[in-house]
């Protein structure tokens, strides 16, 4: 168990709908990262929050948004869903080592858009 | 951006065999991690190893940062070792620690 909690584990929804994925980082970790794993794109970084503020942005679509709340949990909102958004979405939090950071991943949310 | 290449892309082993997985990266990094994605999709941390050598049971890893590569050794493989092994790095000048993943090595261990 990595200590990062993601809900729900599975989600099936229709095209055009909106969903919210939730993540609780490990106790004490201030950073939350969201990644998408799809068959054609592999594992890709979407967005990072640090202590409530957006820190870095990757290839995140405009239809997607995220936020981190004062209790440090984060939500990833996906709207106007398309078939191609079907993927495994991971949340991670990180611990700082001297010179770098080590990431720990949640179990993922498997999103299926039908 | 930084490129991460893993080899081989696929590997089939008999139980008990040893294997070496390789990860090459194109720029200086301050983080390198190896993960195992099991058949249920979970990403399990194996090693945080930006440089040097570490061992954990039947697994060990070595990163030679100056030559921009890392190796993951699996000895006496078991069927439970099956899955995809990912190498991921973050750049030395990167703010925040976002990881860039390789495409993975898919390992299948046959009984």
Residues 64 through 103 of chain A touching chain B, CB cutoff 8 Å: 88, 90, 92, 94, 97, 99-103
- Give burial (CB, 10 Å; 0-12/13-18/19+) of B52: exposed
Q: Indicate if the pLDDT at residue B7 is higher than 80.
A: yes
pLDDT tens across A41-53, in order? 899 999 999 999 9
pLDDT at site B102:
97
Q: From the CB of residue B26, how many other CB atoms can be counted at a distance below 10 Å?
A: 14
Chain A residues within an 8 Å CB radius of B30: 99-100
**Taking Cα atoms as reference points, which of B79, B102, B105 lies closest to residue B29?**
B102
Q: What does the pLDDT average to over B3-11?
A: 97
Instruction: Summarize pLDDT for B42-63 with one digit per residue, the tens.
Output: 999 999 999 999 999 999 999 9
Distances (CA, A) of A25 to A4, A67, B84, B98: 5, 13, 24, 15
From A2, A58, A64, A72, select the one nearest B90 (Cα to Cα). Answer: A58
Quote the pLDDT of residue B49. Answer: 96
Please name the residue that has the structure tokens 């390992």.
B107
3-state secondary structure of A27: coil
Determine contact: A30 vs chain B, CB below 8 A: no
Q: How far is A20 from B36, CA to CA, in rounded Å?
A: 27
Closest Cβ opposite residue B96 in set A31, A97, A107: A31
pLDDT tens digits along A10-40: 999 999 999 999 999 999 999 999 999 998 8
């Amino acid at each position: 168990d990595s200590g990062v909690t993601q809900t729900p584990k599975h989600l099936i929804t229709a095209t055009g709908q909106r969903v919210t994925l939730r993540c609780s980082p490990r106790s004490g970790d201030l950073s939350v990262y969201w990644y998408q794993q799809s068959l054609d794109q592999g594992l890709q970084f979407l967005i990072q929050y640090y202590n409530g503020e957006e820190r870095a942005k990757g290839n995140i679509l405009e239809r997607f948004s995220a936020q981190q709340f004062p209790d440090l949990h984060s939500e990833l909102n996906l709207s106007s869903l398309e078939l191609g958004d079907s993927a495994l979405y991971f949340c991670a939090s990180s611990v700082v080592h001297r010179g770098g950071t080590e990431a720990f991943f949640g179990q993922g949310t498997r999103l299926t858009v039908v | 951006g930084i490129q991460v290449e893993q080899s081989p892309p696929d590997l089939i082993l008999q139980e008990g065999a040893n294997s070496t997985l390789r990860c090459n990266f194109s720029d200086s990094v301050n983080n390198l991690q190896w993960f195992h994605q099991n058949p249920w999709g979970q990403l399990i941390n194996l090693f945080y190893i930006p440089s040097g050598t570490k061992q954990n049971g039947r697994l060990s890893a070595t990163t030679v940062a100056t030559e921009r590569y890392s190796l993951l050794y699996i000895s006496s493989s078991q069927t439970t070792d099956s899955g995809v092994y990912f190498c991921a790095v973050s750049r030395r000048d990167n703010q925040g620690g976002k990881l860039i993943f390789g495409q993975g090595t898919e390992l299948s261990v046959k009984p």
